[in-house]
Amino acid sequence: MTKVASGYLQPVVVGDLDHATVDTIYDVCPGTRVDGPPEYPQDPATVDLVWGVWRRMALGWAADPTVRHRGSTGGALTALAQYLLATERVEFVLHVRASTVEPAFGEPTLSFSDADVLDGAGSRYGPTAPLLGVRDVLDLGRPFAFIGKPCDIGALRNWARHDPRVDDLVRYCLTPVCGGFGTPAFTRNFLDRIDIDPEAVTALRYRGNGCPGPTRVETVDRVVEQHYLDYWGDDATQWSLPWRCKICPDGIGETADIAASDAWPGGAPTREGSVDDPGTNALIARTAAGQELLEAAERDGALVIEREIGPAEMSVYQPHQVRKKIAVAPRLLGIADEGRIVPRYDRLRLDELVAEQPVEINEAQRHGTRERIRMGKATEPAPRLP
């Protein structure tokens, strides 16, 4: 993996690849294969067309005020990771922290203590490859938990078909509900607006220390804090996301044990309302293991659960996830129209969702995708080592 000219972190081929390796890449990469949970229940009461398989949905936060404050939203994923270590359900947690080399990026890390976990709290909206050394981690032969984006968990689940150690050693998969990450150009433009040279940045925290907390940029001689909305913009139309994120069929973590999201009505904070917001996560327990973990963490005082919710309320907090889930199927048809590789998907209900939409809406999504591809918005040069 290397940083390429566009600023992304991308895989670079070194040497020759045989056919078997290429077949494995296509089978494992979440850019080419995205599946829902392998054990898919038949009871429609446990499957929502948009939100997928769920066993419990609730609003909650980390019981420790420090964890709640430091975390991206309500600190729930951080608290759960700490709880897994404290109860010796796992020996360590594989997750990400701010990169020590590229401050805008994230990097994989292993946490063995509460302090280690807390050090990685806060979303990373820059390029990150949390599974970069996963085979070395599996070689340790010790049970662990993984926290990553939904696509990262999808990749790990895909890899389990080729490496049985995944199912044996990865005891829990936790994820944030993901709206995508900022393109490198988007982050550079933000730094330009606050008059900071990207090469001078020594630390960049996108959010946390409040909900959502400030975007904080540090250099050797300056510290600049901006509102979260000064980075992302005041509405979703201003987000600049990678192409892959725009065609993502699973931003909601359908293969995770627990997914945690923001809980802002309408999908975004307000400038006034977020100033004193202590942070509340909307939590989805998807598997039996996830439900048991959520209940145990609540019982033992690691999490505070405010109240139960359901799919309709999740849609209020995450309307952009609803819109994208519905739009994915016609967008994939647009990709096929242009002769591009179309991601394989299964158990994500995309066809059922698109069948409920007006034909003209689906055609608009399909046509728009074709136009974007023709304009070059879905194309990157083949990456090369420097």
For position 26, what pLDDT does the model report?
A: 95
152 has pLDDT over 70 = yes
Assess contact for 358 and 323: CB atoms under 8 A: no
Chain-centroid distance of CA 84 in Å reads: 20
Alpha carbon distance 105, 9 (integer Å):
9
Show the domain range for 62.
34-318
Q: How far is CA 378 from the centre of its chain?
A: 20
Residue 80 inside a domain? The answer is yes
Q: Is residue 150 part of a domain?
A: yes
For the chain, the average pLDDT equals 94
pLDDT band at 367 (very low <50, low <70, confident <90, very high): very high
Number of domains composing the chain = 1
Is 156 part of a structural domain of the chain? yes
Residues 19-78 have pLDDT tens digits of 999 999 999 999 999 999 977 666 655 899 999 999 999 999 999 999 999 999 999 999
pLDDT tens column, 255-277: 999 999 999 999 999 888 777 89
343, part of any domain? no
Domain annotation covers residue 25: no
Please tell me whether the overall predicted TM-score, pTM, comes out greater than 0.85 for this model: yes
Residue 353 lies in a domain: no
The answer to whether residue 2 sits within a structural domain is no
DSSP H/E element including 209: none
Taking the C-alpha atoms of residue 192 and residue 186, their distance in angstroms, rounded to an integer, is 10
Q: Is residue 52 part of a domain?
A: yes
Q: Where are the alpha helices (DSSP H) in 47-181?
A: 65-70, 76-86, 114-119, 134-139, 150-160, 165-169
